[in-house]
Structure 1
Amino acid sequence: MTALSAHAAAADAPSDLARLSAVDLLAGYRRKRFTPVDVVEDIIAALDATHTRCNVVVTAMYEQARADAKRLAAAMRAGEPCGPLAGVPVTIKDLVFVAGVPAYAGSPMNKSFVPDADAAVVSALKAAGAIITCKTTTCESGYKLTADSPVTGLTRNPWNPAHTSGGSSGGAAAAVASGCGPIAIGTDGVGSIRVPSSFCGVFGLKPTFGLVPRSPGFAPPSWASLAHTGPITRTVADAALALETIAIHDLRDAASLAVAQRRFDASPRPLTGLRIGASADLGYAAVAPDVRAAFAKAVAVLEDCGARISGDHPGIDSRILERTLKPIAFIEQAAAVAHKTGDELADCDTDYRDVIAAGRSYAGVDYVEAGYRRTQMRAAFVDLFSRVDALVTPTVAVTAFGAGQLGVASIDGTPVDPHLGWSPFSWPINLAGLPAATVPCGFDRDGLPIGLQIIAPWLDEPTIFKIAAAFEEAQPWAGRWPEMRR
């Protein structure tokens, strides 16, 4: 990890620096090829260009980033210790608190809200020497799987701006995909890291529930029992590096796991003997033909890497969306704004207000019964992981649809719920609290990215990194870029 890649070795002009991985940036700093000042200036230029095309930035933090870069450059010249992520630029989704910076969370209700404390992940990144460049776009409270909101408007896909970036970490994924720095911090309540990462053609990791703390704020605290925080990156190694920094214990988050900090190995090696279950539809989901075809090819790649593939899945009830997810997710969304009046909600998205109304319409017994069904599903995953070491599925059942849409109402002629039915592979994993990642595995006939989801047992992120690194080596994706003009 100390050697520069071929791309990094060629990055003499500052205009190339924004596209370097975190691993290559750190190696470049050690070799004194460039400084954090050079990198941050190029990142700012890239963010400005991408924001103009795709709308990814909520609040720019450029002057602070420049000041941090100058401080770190001086410390590096003096040979002072600077931290494991010193000089690595990072963006932060606007649901995550940065002290002194507005946290709109995509909602007009938060137009005057400025947190006075950093989220634990932000504190950890700052302590590691990372440079925060901006807050990125999200929908309201992360309630849907695009990044469109009344605060920021539409966030678009860098591969085709007529299409959505996905969400709700859409600004984060689009920025990474466009070469605006190597690491973004996103959140994932029903797929909000994996869906935009899949749509934008980058790597996204949802860690085990509780491995990365959400404290002291997640504005508002929606998806209370479902939300995870994790990294979006171009490379597997960068995600491992980021997770090593942000996977910490924090008592302010009741769900935070008291797990010792770990190192994660993202070096590629054969998958010989690894048992991987594969399911194109989890036994019930409608899936677009291009996604099915890309998934089949990806499974063949894993088999070529040495994995033992079997057709398997946990046997999820096809009624899970209506009977389990919606009572839990919608009640938690409604509870997050229970103190808000109708007037305060008036400027919110119509679809968001519909979710709140649906959440308020459920009875307490609906939430408890859904919790029982959730426990049964978790048991099904326990049983599955007695047979296999990991499970792979498509990440999303479709590719990126038109910007401004809530979702799609049908897939290959089969009607689906337009809010969440087209992403049937993401939110069951949130219900179970399992770790999962998406890796780019191909493109549809229109040139839009397709993702492969890798799911492992609880706290087994190392297996995800092992599979993802092998796949990355066998079918590299980091060198493919959308045609963005500076």
Structure 2
Amino acid sequence: MMTDGSGRTASLPTPTGLGALSATEILAGYKRKAFTPRDVVDETIAALEATDAACNAVVTPMYEQARADADRLTKEMRNGEVKGPFAGIPVTIKDLVFVAGVPAYGGSPLNKAFVPDVDAAVVSALKASGAIITCKTTTCESGYKLTADSPVTGTTRNPWNLDRTSGGSSGGAAAAIAAGCGPIAIGTDGVGSIRVPSSFCGVFGLKPTFGLVPRSPGFSPPSWASLAHTGPITRTVADAALALEIIAGYDLRDPASLPLSPRRFDTKVVPLNGVRVGASVDLGYAAVSPDVRAAFNKALAILESCGAKVSMDGPGLDPGILEHTLKPIAFTEQAAAVASRTTADLAGSETDYRDVVSAGRHYSGTEYIEAGYRRGQARTAFLKLFERVDALVTPTVAVTAFEAGRLGVDRIDGIAVDPHLGWSPFTWPINLAGLPAATLPCGFDRDGMPIGLQIVAHWLDEPTIFRIAAAFEEAQPWSRFWPPLALREQGRARAKA
């Protein structure tokens, strides 16, 4: 059982709607003819509407098209014509990812009239698999921060506590998954934007190896150009593996795309005997809240009970990596994304976003290249680490979800931190290295807010992440725990599934 930071057992009943089912449960239900895609989509839309009213998670509904797609698939299923591996599975798409004919605001007032005429590669892959796109979900402007608040959509809230942030920038995606609005969400992650909201909302989030999932045709502006990954947010490890099998692939339009054959991922639970896990609660320099430290230590004990050989080890990164490596790269790339825009053009943007762009414009080319050298040193540090261990585990975020509407926190356990990125010191180093990483729930703080455990593996070693995550999920079944918002009546009884 999962416990909060004080050691109390956390327990919640299960929502009843079909939207709360996992993808594997939905597919099994279709096979048994227990319900139809139209049944699932109707209840998923009802859950999305209720969640959006409370959390502000949806930017652009695509409900009529979703119902039409569901009706078509329902007819095809009755005729035995459905072949796609995700046929009838509802999926949400973060608003930084193109869906042809649907606005892509990306949280920016600059994009209020922008409607792409092409699907992103991941959307094309999902449509080809039979998935049903239900809506676009909220993000901050150009994905620049780790909440999903923006001048376009306002504040996105956490279904565990509506006074708290969902995290971001894939905040609407994570909030919707946590609240039972379908099993799969597509997010993006430049400095932690899949893992932070997944941690804050108590769900599973995966940032694949850089280049494994194509970003083409990308988003305009192409912020976090050398840092951003696209990946799934789900409630179960198995669903994330299924989604990754579909969206991973080579695409010439993305110069970072890796020319790899289709991959399959096994999430069968097996003992972790022989798996060497390095563990670091602070990477040697990070401030971490006491509740997160406590949950992390308990998670290590669980991994050991699963058979893993846990040792305190880490990459030994430069404590100045945020200021001297990440910011010159990330902020310059943010500034480059709006290089043609004037100060007047950005007048409708948030002050914090304008500050990031301004900082990026003031870094010199020399500083950007020097940061790239230091980035290479960080990559080497991870290479050496993975000679000693098979995976690294850390807290996902140094704190739990804070008040909605804030940029971040500026102190952790009495220690001053950068309010933009300092409270998430474990996520963005992994983006600098391009490594795969996932977050999964490992407990709750004293206020009942979720805490995440980050698992990092060698490049293209997603199988090790899935193996560890599946074993942890079996020992610590977080998907049985639901935020209060998800417990509203959602229609058809889960027992029908």
SS in 2 for 1:346: helix
| CA deviation map 1:71-98 (0-9, x unaligned) | 0011100001330000000000000000
Q: Is 1:121 matched with 2:122?
A: yes
Moved more, 124-133 or 79-88: 79-88
Matched, 1:347 2:348: yes
CA distance, structure 2, for counterparts of residue 82 and residue 109 of structure 1: 40
* Partner AA of 1:370 in structure 2: A
What CA deviation, in whole Å up to 9, does each residue of 1:149-185 have, x standing for no partner?
0000000000000000000000000000000000000
What is the rounded CA distance, in whole Å, between the counterparts of 2:305 and 2:47 in structure 1? Answer: 37
Which residue identity lines up with residue 29 of structure 1 in the other structure?
Y
How many pairs align? Answer: 474
Describe the SS at the equivalent of 2:387. coil
Q: In structure 2, what residue type is equivalent to 1:340? A: R
TM-score, scaled relative to structure 2? 0.95
How far did residue 377 of structure 1 move? 0.5
- SS of 2:185's partner is strand
What residue number does 1:245 align with?
246
Deviation at 1:343, TM superposition (A): 1.7
The answer as to whether partners of 1:72 and 1:82 remain within 8 angstroms in 2 is no
2:132 is the counterpart of 1:147 = no
Q: Which whole-Å CA distance do the structure 1 matches of 2:53 and 2:312 have between them?
A: 44
Counterpart position of 1:380 = 381
Shift of 1:342: 1.7
Q: Secondary structure at the match of 1:282?
A: coil
CA separation in 2, counterparts of 1:145 and 1:56? 15
Map of 2:287 onto structure 1: 286
List aligned pairs for 1:423-442, cutoff 5 A.
423-442=424-443
Whole-angstrom CA distance in 1 between matches of 2:362 and 2:46: 47
In the alignment, the residues of structure 2 paired with residue 117 and residue 483 of structure 1 have an alpha-carbon distance, to the nearest angstrom, of 38
Cα distance in 2 for residues equivalent to 1:292 and 1:317: 21
Matched, 1:42 2:63: no
The 1-side partners of 2:213 and 2:286 are apart by 30
**Which 4+ runs in 1 deviate beyond 2 A?**
none
Structure 2 portions without partners, runs of 5+: 1-13, 490-497
Task: For 1:1-400, list aligned pairs within 5 A.
Answer: 16-400=17-401
Describe the SS at the equivalent of 1:478.
helix
| Aligned residue identity for 2:481 | R
SS in 1 for 2:357: helix
Shift of 1:16: 2.0
Q: TM-score, normalised by structure 1?
A: 0.97
Residue in structure 1 matched with residue 470 of structure 2 by the alignment: 469
Displacement of 1:43:
0.4
CA distance in structure 2 between the aligned counterparts of 1:428 and 1:143, rounded to whole angstroms: 16
Deviation string 1:197-233 (CA, Å, 9 cap, x unpaired) is 0000000000000000000122320000000000000
Structure with the bigger RCO (C-alpha within 8 Å, sep 6+) is: 2
Q: Please tell me whether the aligned partners of residues 76 and 82 of structure 1 are also in contact (alpha carbons under 8 angstroms).
A: no
Calculate percent identity across the aligned residue pairs.
77
Aligned positions of 1:421-460 closer than 5 A? 421-460=422-461
Deviation of the 1:267 alpha carbon? 1.3
- Which amino acid is the alignment partner of residue 285 of structure 1? A
Three-state SS of the structure 1 residue aligned to 2:188 is strand
Secondary structure of the equivalent of 2:241?
helix
Match of 2:430, as an amino acid? I
1:112-145: CA deviations, max 9, x gaps?
Answer: 0000000000000000000000000000010000
Q: Aligned partners of 1:267, 1:73: CA distance in 2, in Å?
A: 30
- Given that 2:73 and 2:82 are in contact with CA atoms closer than 8 Å, whether structure 1 keeps it comes out as no
| Conserved 8 A contact 1:176-1:183 | yes
User: Secondary structure of the residue that 2:263 maps to in structure 1?
Assistant: coil
Contact 2:169 2:193 in 1 (8 A): yes
Instruction: Give, in angstroms, the shift of residue 268 of structure 1.
Output: 1.1
Q: Structure 1, residues 425-451: CA drift from partner, whole Å, max 9, x if none?
A: 000000000000000000000000000
Alignment partners' CA distance in 1, 2:414 and 2:201: 25
C-alpha separation in 2, matches of 1:39 and 1:219: 33
CA contact (8 A) 2:167 2:196 kept: yes
